[in-house]
Structure 1
Amino acid sequence: MKAILMTQPGLPDLLELREIEEPTITEPSQIKVRLRAAGVNPVDTKIRRNGLFYPNPLPAVLGCDGAGEVVEIGGAVSRFNIGDSVWFCHGGLGGDQGNYAEYTVLDERWAAPIPQSLDFEHAAAAPLVLITAWGALYDRGRLQAGQTVLIHAAAGGVGHVAVQLAKLRDARVLATIGSAEKAELARNWGADTAIDYRQEDFAQRVNELTDGQGADLVIDTVGPDVFRHSIDCTAHFGDLVTLLDPGNISLQEARMRNLRIGFELMLAPMLRNLHEARDHHVEILQQCGEWIDQGVLNIHVSQVLPLEKAAAAHALIETGHTTGKIVLKIS
């Protein structure tokens, strides 16, 4: 089968299209999937740049997000039949094979039926960002109706679904963006106010919009500088959740505000074999699938590239200027 291989850590052009052996079912609970599309996420680019999560030798197939058709099932499979369409977040970290390939094998437990209204490309774009945004907002952030939430990088992969999930919880959404185009997108997804961080101090603006109280919940998807500055606009007794390592910073003001600091790494259950947590991830996909079919949750795909253009997809993500998701189409 065709697959994109990470041959060594480094630049995007180290990704190579090669022919490799098809994976086979080795456990009775596994399904074999003919992949039709694979989502490309920032974590893919970080692994490519820095190395695998596991000590396994290279080359490796990257890509956590996949969508396709079940073509073979193990003897104990009960949830899926041959021909079913599935989406999932599985593999791509250096352990199990990723989804930049024509086929993959995974336990049926980690897959969910694709929403009826989604094509393969939009389905492949969604799992990691949906699970991450849900975890940050609902599980770690404890978002409640009527609260104010600040979502950074609201036009990005996680950000654009986080805005929509927050509105589904009847929250007031403040969103940081970096262009007029992204501001319009954020408002279309439900943001009440879009704050251009290039033009104004976002913390000052949030405090103005909340009469000096700050946001009840802040979701940081950017990194240390944004995390540090977000403390100044998180409400006393509020929640500040980050997807990244905030680095070695002073938490004196966070302590004075009695903030709850939360971390959301949706890959942890896969990395540490936390099966109940992964069951929750599949439940998230099932609920989000219902909302997608109801038309109240949308997945924004900015570009679809052929599998052989994986290096170009990585390069685009690393510019930091993309909106929504980039997807590889697997013919």
Structure 2
Amino acid sequence: MRCVQMTAVGGPEVLRIADLPRPEPGPGQVRVHLAAAGVNPVDTKVRAKGLLDPQAALPAILGCDGAGTVDALGQGVTGIEPGQRVLFMNGGIGLAPGNYAEYATVDARFVVPIPEGVEDVEAAAMPLVAITAWEALFDRARLEAGEWVLIHGGAGGVGHVAIQLARQAGARVMTTVGDAEKAGIAQALGAEAVLRYREEDFVESARRRTGGEGVAVVLDTVGGETCTRSLHALATYGRLVSILALPGEMDWQYARLHNLSVAQEWMLSPMLLGREDHRLHQTAILGECAARMADGRLELLVAGTYPLEQAAEAHRRLEAGGMRGKLVLIPG
């Protein structure tokens, strides 16, 4: 089995092609012949800083997102047949091998059938960003119809999915972008107000566009100063959700005065903590998002695809910033 291994902690050059035995599915698992694997910022962070499981050892296979065809069943698996196309989020952070490979074994409970009409590349681009956007908007922020939500980085991986999900929930979407091309993407996906953060102050613009009140919800996909300043874009009793670590300089006095709620969203927690109940919830989210992809309600933007041999180049492109959508590796 050809795969890409992280051979050390460091730059993209530590990603190297290897040939390993093809894995066999254990009880309750399926083996998937991978057609595509999503590339996410967490992959680059794990590569640069180390595996998230302190008990794990290098070399390791990265990549949480996968899509492909089931080619073998472990003992006790029912409801899934060889030849079925599936997508999933599993491994890639040190707890289990990831999906920068030709094959992966996955708990059968955590795979979702790929509907007719959905291509493998788009399916592989979906899991991590869709779960993150869904949990942030609906599980953490409790976004409701009619509310204004400010989504930072509206043309990015999480941001472009969040715009679509928020609009479908009946919310009014405001988003920040860096240039005209990204503004066009955000508008096409349904953003009602697009803020060019290099040309305007997003806090002032958010307040002006909401009659001075501020937005009900902010989804922060950027972190740092953007996160800290986002508190001031919120209406009283507003909710901020960040998918990154909260900065140390948050204005907690302002947050308390305005009764603001601040939450964090890290969709890898259930996998890291072994919480199968929460992983089943995430699998249900994937099923719903796959259905929306099939009927055209959810579009996954793929900025580029790379063969396994060019995984390091994919990491370099992602780390350069300015991404529009997702990158995907093609194992075959």
TM-score of the superposition, structure 2-length normalised?
Answer: 0.98
* Pair 1:314 & 2:306 matched: no
Residue equivalent to 2:35? 36
SS of equivalent residue, structure 2 residue 52? coil
Shift of 1:305: 1.0
Q: Which amino acid aligns with 1:43?
A: V
CA deviations over 1:270-308 (Å, ceiling 9, x no partner): 000111110011110111111111111111101011111
**Counterparts of 1:20 and 1:290 in 2: how far apart (Å)?**
35
**Counterparts of 1:64 and 1:99 in 2: how far apart (Å)?**
6
Residue 79 of structure 1 contacts residue 108 of structure 1 at CA under 8 Å; is this kept in 2?
A: no
Q: Which amino acid aligns with 2:37?
A: A
**Counterparts of 1:117 and 1:151 in 2: how far apart (Å)?**
29
Residue equivalent to 1:292? 293
Residue 92 of structure 2 contacts residue 99 of structure 2 at CA under 8 Å; is this kept in 1?
A: yes
CA deviations over 1:145-184 (Å, ceiling 9, x no partner): 0000000001000000000000000111000000100000
Residue equivalent to 1:233? 233
Shift of 1:126: 0.4
Shift of 1:21: 1.7
Q: Which amino acid aligns with 1:266?
A: M
Q: Which amino acid aligns with 2:147?
A: Q
Residue 69 of structure 2 contacts residue 84 of structure 2 at CA under 8 Å; is this kept in 1?
A: yes
**Counterparts of 1:24 and 1:181 in 2: how far apart (Å)?**
45
Shift of 1:234: 0.7
**Counterparts of 2:134 and 2:99 in 1: how far apart (Å)?**
23
Residue equivalent to 1:51? 50
**Counterparts of 2:227 and 2:255 in 1: how far apart (Å)?**
11
Q: How does 1:202-221 map to 2 (within 5 A)?
A: 202-221=202-221
Residue 204 of structure 1 contacts residue 233 of structure 1 at CA under 8 Å; is this kept in 2?
A: yes
Deviation above 2 Å: which 4+ runs of structure 1?
none
Residue equivalent to 1:324? 325
Residue equivalent to 2:138? 138
CA deviations over 1:305-324 (Å, ceiling 9, x no partner): 11111001100110111100
Residue equivalent to 1:223? 223
Q: Which amino acid aligns with 2:307?
A: P
Unaligned runs of 5+ residues in structure 1 are: none
Residue equivalent to 1:275? 276
Residue 154 of structure 1 contacts residue 175 of structure 1 at CA under 8 Å; is this kept in 2?
A: yes
Aligned residues with identical type, % of pairs: 45
SS of equivalent residue, structure 1 residue 115? coil
Q: How does 1:236-275 map to 2 (within 5 A)?
A: 236-249=236-249, 250-275=251-276
TM-score of the superposition, structure 1-length normalised?
Answer: 0.98
Q: How does 1:118-133 map to 2 (within 5 A)?
A: 118-133=118-133
**Counterparts of 2:147 and 2:267 in 1: how far apart (Å)?**
24
SS of equivalent residue, structure 1 residue 258? coil
**Counterparts of 1:26 and 1:165 in 2: how far apart (Å)?**
36
Q: Which amino acid aligns with 2:302?
A: V
**Counterparts of 2:12 and 2:120 in 1: how far apart (Å)?**
24
Residue equivalent to 1:77? 77
CA deviations over 1:193-247 (Å, ceiling 9, x no partner): 1101111111110001001110100000111211100000111001100001112
* Pair 1:154 & 2:137 matched: no
- The farther-off stretch of 293-302 and 265-274 is 293-302
Q: What root-mean-square deviation, in Å, do the aligned CA atoms of Structure 1 and Structure 2 show?
A: 0.8
**Counterparts of 1:14 and 1:39 in 2: how far apart (Å)?**
19
Shift of 1:252: 1.1
Residue 26 of structure 2 contacts residue 75 of structure 2 at CA under 8 Å; is this kept in 1?
A: no
**Counterparts of 2:110 and 2:26 in 1: how far apart (Å)?**
16
Q: Which amino acid aligns with 2:42?
A: V
